[in-house]
Amino acid sequence: MFSCKTSPEVGGMGHSVKRKEDARFLHGKGNYTDDVKLPGMLHMVMVRSPYAYAKILSIDKEKALAIDGVLAVITGEDLAQYNLHWMPTLLSDSQMVLPTDTVMHQSQEVCAVIATDRYVAVDGAEAVDVQYEPMQAIVNPFKALDENAPLLRPDKEGQKDNHIYHWERGDKAKTDAAIAAADVVVKERIHLPRIHVASIETCGVVASYDKDTEKMLIYLTSQAPHAIRTILALVAGHVGLSEEKIRIIAPDIGGGFGGKVPVYPGYVVAIAASFLIGKPVKWIEDRSENLVNGFARDYHMDCELAATKDGKIQAFKVSTLADHGYTDSSANPSKYPTGMFSICTGSYDYEHAFAELDAVYTNKAPGGVAYRCSFRVTEAVHAIERMVDKLAAEIKMDPAEIRFKNFIKKEQFPYASPLGWSYDSGDYKATLEKAMEMVGYDDYKKEQAEKRAQGKLMGIGICTFTEVVGAGPSKDFDILGIAMFDSAEIRVHPTGKALARFGTKSQGQGHETTYAQILAEELGIPYTDIEIDEGDTDTAPYGLGTYASRSTPTAGAAAAIAARKLRDKGKKIAAHLLEVSEDDIEWEVGKYFVKGAPEKSKTIQDVAFAAYTNFPQGMEPGFEATHYYDPPNLTFPNGAYICVVEVDEETGAIDVKRFVAIDDCGNIINPMIVEGQVHGGLTQGIAPAMYEGIVYDDEGNVLNGTLMDYLVPTAVESPHWETGHTITPSPHHPLGAKGVAESPTVGAPPAIANAIIDALYPLGIKHLDIPITPDKVWDAIRKAKAEA
């Protein structure tokens, strides 16, 4: 286990210190994008398409422009004059900023109304008269590749059908051969439906262009302000938006979860409008715009898992159809169009695996938001964890036993996975044992046997996942060519207090506290004496932002190494002050002392003061350091989750009785914050498992585009989570830490699904796709009984 090196007052790693950022939020003094108000600010509202696929015949602005206070109606034709009507997605596909002739999904932006007041802008949007010629939308991705399917993207050169790309990894021939020769093969088509991050704050922007200084100041709900600034400069450089003139400030963010990584058309139009009009323009999405216009998941996965009859896994194969909507707007690293999906071989040791994927266009919103998972890990983990359970059920083996039998062993790390990852560390057996002990697994197995004898439906579900987070390394990972590293810049002031700036951006993760704790650990300066600053591209060092659980693996590591650079410099200063050779100086947290004479010492604060007042001749003055950290590998957090459910056979209602989550995210910076992250991720895991899913009708209409019918779990749906840890440090991370926040979102859905299927198994129900709602269960029970 981890033991703290610092006192609670210094508050280094391992201390559950209270968060430094809380006060402003608790007193209503947070500063979110919609709170930004600039002199003369105008408001923008979007006109959106009622159709999923239609030709635009005409856009009549006149009635809107006649309204007092409406200043402009901006259409795709208007933007086309500046060649700003299309933009690249983060995965090098193309997306309309505003359409010139065709709308490709329901609620797509058609034009924008700019007015002096938000209410007047809405009036204007309602007064714009758009004439459409609706066309038959492609909604079902399996029909997108039909011969007679209309070509959705004729604008793309060389595009002959609705196929976007094929991807594959692994040895197909050997995997097929292993499956053909196996004693047991289980198969399933598993769908993870579209869901939305539904952060409570929607997306928004305030763009303010100053014609005199030519500076474009942009307040943006962005998890990656630096990358977005570069992209804006690349996209709009030709109209004069040069990167040094663009300043993006990501103020307080009301939840991100991946949804605030992409560039949305509303951002671009607001920026263009401010550029053209020369006044600040604010655009804030409403909730329906938010829910309908972005999404995560939507993979249809055909899985095959092969094993010996006594449960030794031999091969895994998965063929996926990915529905990307009308453009591939995945926020993935460019060499990884399917993200880290190839983590799908899971926590188990076997030789053969093959994964392939075909992505298609449909008439749905642009998709591929990495929703609180490192680019498709949720899909991958759901596939393998459902299949392992299916295999266990098939050969009548306990789901825990089959996992123990197949786990990668502690001594096998670093482990080369069959699809090419090098897992850094883990002790999967210990983690599952701890979860089983905490939940009381054996007692529940007995209770289940008794309940089954009484005809009651009770299920126990396990998920033992391996995550992959913290991109880079930069040799493999980039976003539109920008290498995925991250940065920290530390300034220790003469009085020994510090300011540190980062290329990441917190959206609730508590960076103002945890980064200060890392520096407290490394420098011995109390965390309360360290200010943390992020999100302003004019002041923060360049970084790729916060998503994919990458802040601790990358920027956290950068902080540690920058601090160590300072410590090295401090050693020279301490030697100078103590009048001994540098070789005679030793460090313990917070002070330098003379070897063998610990009473002769200088604190880090003494040294910081001397760095500005009394430094050795010839030394560069000051006490500052910067580091750009390019990780040698990703980190591989993991966990064992166990869920116990009871299902009411009459109503299909599912009652989650217990949920135990044991996470191993390496060394922990702040246990309170890690636990909080796990709680939140678990609720975002039960959400798709039991409640959420964006539903379309055959015309491509979204049927649940408001929070009244898209069920984000409340405190009532969310169970009382029980959490714990094992600690296996990452061998390559300077602090031994790994990412954590996404593990629960990834691990919870299969644990819950496995529990529900386990409950229903005696009725002959062997699989249900998530969300597993009461009506789906009720329907399945009714069908199963009819068949029996």
Positions marked catalytic: 223, 372-373, 742
Residues 139, 702: Cα–Cα separation, whole Å:
11
CB of 546 to another protein, least distance (A): 12
Structure tokens at 351: 């030789």
CB of 289 to another protein, least distance (A): 10
Report the Cα–Cα distance between both ends of the chain, in Å, rounded.
Answer: 52
CB of 125 to another protein, least distance (A): 14
* Nearer Cβ to another protein (290/363): 290
* Nearer Cβ to another protein (336/721): 721
CA angle 533, 538, 542 (to 5 degrees): 75
Of the CA atoms within 13 Å of residue 460, those in its CB half-sphere come to: 21
Distances (CA, A) of 587 to 5, 37, 448, 584, 598: 13, 49, 57, 10, 10
Q: Which of 757, 781, 780 lies closest to 767, judged by CA? A: 757
Cα-trace Rg, the chain: 27
- DSSP H helices in 395-497: 399-406, 428-439, 441-453
**CB contact burial 395-433 (16+ within 10 A = b; e otherwise):** eebebbebbebbbbeeeebebebbbebebbbbbbbbbbb
The DSSP element (H or E) to which 26 belongs, if any, is helix 22-26
Distances (CA, A) of 432 to 24, 324, 664: 40, 35, 10
CB of 105 to another protein, least distance (A): 22
Distances (CA, A) of 617 to 21, 574, 610, 613, 764: 40, 13, 12, 11, 81
At 217, phi and psi to the nearest 5?
A: -95, 125
Pairing of strands 281-284, 299-307: unpaired
CB of 37 to another protein, least distance (A): 7
Structure tokens at 304: 């095959």
CB of 32 to another protein, least distance (A): 7
Residues 169, 596: Cα–Cα separation, whole Å:
58
User: How is residue 156 annotated by DSSP?
Assistant: S
- How many Å separate Cα 526 from the centre of its chain? 31
* Nearer Cβ to another protein (255/774): 255
* DSSP string over 647-661: E-TTT--EEEEEEEE
Pairing of strands 94-96, 86-88: antiparallel
Structure tokens at 331: 């926020």
Does residue 500 contact residue 515 with C-beta atoms inside 8 Å? yes
- How many Å separate Cα 625 from the centre of its chain? 29
- DSSP H helices in 395-510: 399-406, 428-439, 441-453
SS3 604: helix
CB of 672 to another protein, least distance (A): 5
The DSSP element (H or E) to which 607 belongs, if any, is helix 604-613
* Nearer Cβ to another protein (36/381): 36
CB of 333 to another protein, least distance (A): 26
CB of 521 to another protein, least distance (A): 20
CB of 543 to another protein, least distance (A): 20
- DSSP H helices in 454-556: 511-523
The DSSP element (H or E) to which 387 belongs, if any, is helix 377-394
Structure tokens at 314: 């031999």
* Nearer Cβ to another protein (117/697): 117
Residues 726, 740: Cα–Cα separation, whole Å:
13
* Most distant pair of Cα atoms in the chain: their distance: 90
Q: Which of 256, 331, 194, 190 lies closest to 687, judged by CA? A: 194
* Nearer Cβ to another protein (223/728): 223
CB of 36 to another protein, least distance (A): 9
Residues 296, 288: Cα–Cα separation, whole Å:
16
Does residue 366 contact residue 326 with C-beta atoms inside 8 Å? yes
| E strands present in 254-409 | 281-284, 299-307, 313-323, 352-360
CB of 114 to another protein, least distance (A): 17
Residues 329, 364: Cα–Cα separation, whole Å:
12
CB of 122 to another protein, least distance (A): 10
* Nearer Cβ to another protein (397/707): 707
Q: Which residues bind another protein (CB under 8 A)?
A: 18-19, 21-32, 34-35, 37, 118-119, 197-202, 252-257, 284, 286-287, 507-510, 672-673, 675-684, 706-708, 712, 714-716, 718, 720-721
